Structure 1
Amino acid sequence: MLVNQESDNVHLCIVCSGKLISDPDSGEELCGSCGIVARENLELVAERRAFTLEEMDKRYRTGEPASLMMYDMGLSSFIDNKNVDANGKQIQRYSEIDRLRRLNKITVSNNSKTKNLNKAMREIRRITEILAIGTPVAERAAYIYRKALDKRLIKGRSITGIVAATIYIACKDTGTPRSVHEIQEVIGNADRKNITYYYKFLLREMKIHVPLPVPSNSISRIADKARLSEKTARKALDILALVSDNALLSGKNPVSLAAASLYLATIETGEYTTQLRIAIAADVSTVTVRKRCLEIIQLVKADNSQLLAKSIEKSQELLSEESKPILQPSIAATSVAHHPAKNVKGLFLASRQVSRLPYLPVEYDDGSASIELS
């Protein structure tokens, strides 16, 4: 019985652009207009059922799907190291098979472009696995890298730096909250300035337009790191929904807005935690968290909303905390904690020599500096 291809994805004839008709009895797909046979020996049935992994491997006939994550997209052939044929019998001419295996490897990865892609795809796979990023982000990063390689933008530049930049672009494009600092920590031997430079370079040369980051995308990640409940995370989303469209918050760091909304949500839900804990989870300073909290409270006050009733009561306490650190430094670190911050980096190194406790440096508007210990 002939079946007309009436679906959303209609296959067309390559000769006359007519609709193709499939014949399940003969396993052919032919054109209804010119009669050309487009495909033959079609197998429309599913694979045989398998109940164990070994049985599935034995009955698996189609191979892996094509993927941008593979340097050859999974379409090249390779010869297995086992010297057996398709029937499982041992091959007698070992030397000939070894020679064919070596020649096959040479022909597959003989040019510089293939070697470049092989190294880059392995690096993308490694970084995305460590960062726990999904396959769509990795595929998007591989696509951007391939386009950059086709435009000869990789020549003379670091492959690792370009890979980091493509992953950062893919994270922004898919709405996955990952920072340059996180990617740089995974790579290790790449400078943050170089990653930022390559990121801007690819955006400019490839004319890529990434969407603006949304604060709500960072809520779940910060809440997981700070070990906050789902109730608090949902309350933070409600707070962001109330103030996110306000023009006074435009241009602010979305991660800091998410951290501030989470801190206010902990006050409202009774799950009290410190600003330092949330600031470390969000990779921002406690001063930034306090400033964003006060700005959100002022906006909620202007709207006459009861969403932050408890937080508004504590707003005076937040204002008083604006001029002092949350935790006092230890006695050993007191001698270096209140000096003018002319060289803040040197101050951090000196404090690290004195105290082995975890610290979070803070610089105030009046030029003084402090070290907040957790």
Structure 2
Amino acid sequence: MSENVRNYTDERARQSDTEESEGEREEADLSCPECGGQLVNDSERGETVCRDCGLVVEEDEIDHGPEWRAFDASEKDEKSRVGAPTTNMMHDKGLSTNIGWQNKDAYGNSLSSRQREKMQRLRTWNERFRTRDSKERNLKQALGEIDRMASALGLPDNVRETASVIYRRALDEDLLPGRSIEGVSTASLYAAARQAGTPRSLDEITGVSRVDKDEVARTYRYVVRELNLEIQPADPESYVPRFASDLELSDEAERRARQLLETAKEEGIHSGKSPVGLAAAAVYAASLLTNEKVTQGEVSDVANISEVTIRNRYHELLEAEEQVHL
């Protein structure tokens, strides 16, 4: 018994000696090697310097903190990035749990029949909890419709986000009773595209929507009026890059089309005219002026507008150009 106690005492003594030596090394690391002064961290410059003599002991240190600054608790919570980013393009803003459809475990092995049944029940209940009321089901269907139409029209993510916010506002202010989900979602996307400066014509929007043109136009006017959306009239020049790209025209032709539209604005002939028709006519006229032969039928297919409209606007643009030169 006495020998066990002696061994235990020796072991404790060795541990205490080791702890003392480690503590001495830590103290030595925290003191200046030149003057023995206290070392401090300069987070702005990423350096460890001596408080007394100013010796730089370490430099180019890694900053493990965030790159943003917060001045109160609420701002800190807003800027903190933990987990996936939230998005308005999902009805729950991407905060809920999603169970994958693959019936495999973490190692890639197939699940047994009993486990597959269990996972299917979990998916069913998870879907029920994600859309617990009619409002969430409505929002889920509408946002899926907006994403489908935006993909078909080639609209960027910022337009989809704006359309989602517009639809959420319409839902919160009870603008949907008496109107279809597809109609309000189409009107929201049409308004968002015009706000972002990447407009699509009403015919293009109707082509990918599940409602007719009259309902889209009527719902659009209602949503804009009730939500007080500030939407400027569509600028014909905003359609020119897309039409020129689809027709594979040169930069010179695109620049010439812009000049024709600027002249038309100065002469005031654009008032009351369809911006899509003016843009299509300007692209057609510019292709002829730059010797890049494009038919009216090709421009009509790209702009989704009749050849008669292109011919009428085409003559008006050239007449305005001649008057300016005269």
Instruction: Calculate the TM-score normalised by the size of structure 2.
Output: 0.69
Deviations 1:290-327 (A, max 9, x none): 3323322332223227xxxxxxxxxxxxxxxxxxxxxx
| TM-superposed deviation, 1:155 | 2.7
The one-letter amino acid paired with 1:125 is D
Residue among 159, 168, 186 paired with 1:164? 186
Inter-partner Cα distance in structure 2 for 1:206 and 1:270: 47
- Contact 2:237–2:261 (Cα < 8 Å) also in 1: yes
The one-letter amino acid paired with 1:246 is E
In the alignment, is residue 76 of structure 1 matched against residue 96 of structure 2?
Answer: yes
Deviations 1:16-60 (A, max 9, x none): x9xx8xxxxxxxxxxxxxxxxx89xx99xxxxxxxxxxxxxxxxx
In structure 1, the residue matched to 2:72 is 13
The one-letter amino acid paired with 1:12 is F
| TM-superposed deviation, 1:83 | 7.5
In structure 1, the residue matched to 2:18 is none
Structure with greater Cα Rg: 2
Q: Which has the higher contact order (CA 8 A, sep 6+)?
A: 2
- Contact 2:190–2:199 (Cα < 8 Å) also in 1: no
In the alignment, is residue 129 of structure 1 matched against residue 151 of structure 2?
Answer: yes
SS in 1 for 2:266: coil
Query: Which of 84-93 and 218-227 deviates more?
Result: 84-93
SS in 2 for 1:303: helix
Residue among 172, 175, 184 paired with 2:206? 184
In structure 1, the residue matched to 2:10 is none
**Identity score, percent:** 33
From the two aligned structures, give the one with the greater helix fraction: 2
Residue among 286, 289, 300 paired with 1:279? 300
Consecutive unaligned residues of structure 2, counting only runs of 5 or more, are 1-40, 45-65
| TM-superposed deviation, 1:234 | 2.2
Instruction: Calculate the TM-score normalised by the size of structure 1.
Output: 0.61
SS in 1 for 2:269: helix
- Contact 2:277–2:310 (Cα < 8 Å) also in 1: yes
Query: Which of 99-108 and 120-129 deviates more?
Result: 99-108
| Count of aligned pairs | 262
In structure 2, the residue matched to 1:349 is none
Inter-partner Cα distance in structure 2 for 1:88 and 1:127: 35
| TM-superposed deviation, 1:137 | 1.0
Inter-partner Cα distance in structure 2 for 1:250 and 1:78: 51
Residue among 85, 93, 98 paired with 1:65? 85
Consecutive unaligned residues of structure 1, counting only runs of 5 or more, are 21-37, 44-61, 306-374
Inter-partner Cα distance in structure 1 for 2:280 and 2:105: 60
In structure 2, the residue matched to 1:252 is 273
Inter-partner Cα distance in structure 2 for 1:89 and 1:279: 55
Would the alpha carbon gap of residues 101 and 168 (structure 1) be closer, same or farther in structure 2, given more than 3 Å must change? closer
| TM-superposed deviation, 1:132 | 1.1
CA RMSD of aligned residues (A): 3.4
Inter-partner Cα distance in structure 2 for 1:149 and 1:241: 40
Inter-partner Cα distance in structure 2 for 1:149 and 1:236: 41
| TM-superposed deviation, 1:194 | 0.8
Would the alpha carbon gap of residues 251 and 107 (structure 1) be closer, same or farther in structure 2, given more than 3 Å must change? same
The one-letter amino acid paired with 1:174 is A
| TM-superposed deviation, 1:240 | 2.1
In structure 1, the residue matched to 2:165 is 143
In structure 2, the residue matched to 1:104 is 126
Would the alpha carbon gap of residues 108 and 238 (structure 1) be closer, same or farther in structure 2, given more than 3 Å must change? same
SS in 1 for 2:325: coil
Would the alpha carbon gap of residues 109 and 247 (structure 1) be closer, same or farther in structure 2, given more than 3 Å must change? same
